[in-house]
């Protein structure tokens, strides 16, 4: 039994007329009649009772019509699924992301993907930048959203956006109600920072900015998570420098003040392997990441 034969049979059964069925199928009526007769011979049973004006289904024909419709629908679904997979609209995409991207960047991309390609499932893994680079290189991740990554051997780096750095402090701090501050004004402060061995790239970037501003970053206390750093700042134990998107975390007594130094920015990039860059699923992700609406405070970089 072939799908073509089933389609011919279903058309005749639904039209109850060979001429109308032939027109629907865009084939000649004699050819359709021959195909139906051949089909009946193969099945060793009559499917239709033919009269001069119309055709009627036999008991065998009624059974085959129900089953044939189901088989054709499943075949159509299978073809659609294959086409969607070929165009990156279904499948699994393993996505790593830094925690600071979880507040605005990742939700915007994932929501856009779910809206346009609901069959594409994103398996999300929060991780710092260096473990993401390792996971992508080893094939455990398909794509990563990272910070402060330049050219990396064996990986494709696509800068996505620039994000202003801000300083978080308790509302009683002398600088808390300023509209902005310069990094040089933060010399001598108690800095709340990430452990360098855990978040080395952003740590080194901020430390380098402080050095260029004329002072050395001296950690007063370390914490691994952004909410912990901000909680400590809200408790007036020190100040911390964070990306602009962290402003979404509101805590009692906590103030955010922009840093005006021109180079006080953090660059967020999308990273993948060159042999995966042009796969349909990853192309969908990269195109969406480059075009999805983001917070106006996040400055797009050309792709």
In this prediction, residue 74 has a pLDDT band, given cuts at 50, 70 and 90, of: confident
CATH architecture of structural domain 3-86: Orthogonal Bundle (1.10)
Domain map of the chain by residue range? 3-86, 92-160+268-300, 162-265
Q: Is the pLDDT score of 254 beyond 90?
A: yes
The predicted pLDDT at position 3 comes to: 85
In this prediction, residue 76 has a pLDDT band, given cuts at 50, 70 and 90, of: confident
- State the average pLDDT over residues 30-53: 88
pTM over 0.75: no
CATH number attached to the domain at 92-160+268-300: 3.40.190.10
CB 271 within 8 A of CB 155: yes
Query: Between the CA of residue 7 and those of 35, 43, 65, 136, 224, what are the distances in Å?
Result: 11, 15, 10, 46, 62
For residue 69, what are the contacts with CB-CB under 8 A and spacing of at least 6? 10
- State the average pLDDT over residues 191-220: 92
DSSP state of 295: -
258-272 pLDDT, tens digit per residue, is 999 999 999 999 999
Same fold, 92-160+268-300 and 162-265: yes
The predicted pLDDT at position 297 comes to: 63
The predicted pLDDT at position 92 comes to: 85
Mean pLDDT of the chain: 89
Lowest mean pLDDT among 61-75, 121-135, 159-173: 61-75
In this prediction, residue 200 has a pLDDT band, given cuts at 50, 70 and 90, of: confident
CB 209 within 8 A of CB 263: yes
In this prediction, residue 252 has a pLDDT band, given cuts at 50, 70 and 90, of: very high
> Whole-angstrom Cα distance, residue 276 to residue 199?
26
Superfamily of domain 162-265: Periplasmic binding protein-like II (3.40.190.10)
96-123 pLDDT, tens digit per residue, is 999 989 888 999 999 999 888 888 889 9
For residue 28, what are the contacts with CB-CB under 8 A and spacing of at least 6? 22
In this prediction, residue 2 has a pLDDT band, given cuts at 50, 70 and 90, of: confident
Q: How many CB atoms lie within 10 A of CB 264?
A: 22
For residues 13 and 230, the model is more confident at: 230
DSSP string computed for 199-252: SHHHHHHHHHHHHHTTS---EEEE-SSHHHHHHHHHTTS-BEEEEGGGGG---T
């Amino acid at each position: 039994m072939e799908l073509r034969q089933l389609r011919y049979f279903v058309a005749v059964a639904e039209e109850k007329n060979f001429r109308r069925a032939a027109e629907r199928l865009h084939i000649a009526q004699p050819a359709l009649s021959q195909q139906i007769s051949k089909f009946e011979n193969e099945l060793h049973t009559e499917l239709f009772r033919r009269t001069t004006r119309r055709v009627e289904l036999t008991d065998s024909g009624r059974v085959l019509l129900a089953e044939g419709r189901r088989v054709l629908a499943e075949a159509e679904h299978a073809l659609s699924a294959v086409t969607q997979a070929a165009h990156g609209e279904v499948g699994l995409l393993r996505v790593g992301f830094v925690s600071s991207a979880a507040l605005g960047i990742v939700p915007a991309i994932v929501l856009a993907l779910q809206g346009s390609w609901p069959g594409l499932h994103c398996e999300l893994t929060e991780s710092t930048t260096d473990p993401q680079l390792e996971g992508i290189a080893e094939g455990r991740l398909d794509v990563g959203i990272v910070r402060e990554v330049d050219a990396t051997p064996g990986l494709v780096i696509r800068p996505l956006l620039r994000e202003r750095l801000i300083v978080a402090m308790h509302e009683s701090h002398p600088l808390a109600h300023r509209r902005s501050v310069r990094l040089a004004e933060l010399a001598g402060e108690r800095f709340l920072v990430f452990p360098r061995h855990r978040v080395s790239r952003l740590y080194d970037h901020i430390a380098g900015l402080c050095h260029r501003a004329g002072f050395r970053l001296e950690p007063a206390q370390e914490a691994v998570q952004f909410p912990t750093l901000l909680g400590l700042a809200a408790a007036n134990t020190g100040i911390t420098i964070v990306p602009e998107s962290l402003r979404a975390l509101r805590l009692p007594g906590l103030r955010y003040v922009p840093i005006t130094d021109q180079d006080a920015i953090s660059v967020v990039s999308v990273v993948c392997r060159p042999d995966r860059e042009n796969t349909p699923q990853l192309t969908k992700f990269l195109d969406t990441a480059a075009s999805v609406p983001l917070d106006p405070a996040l400055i797009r970089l050309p792709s």
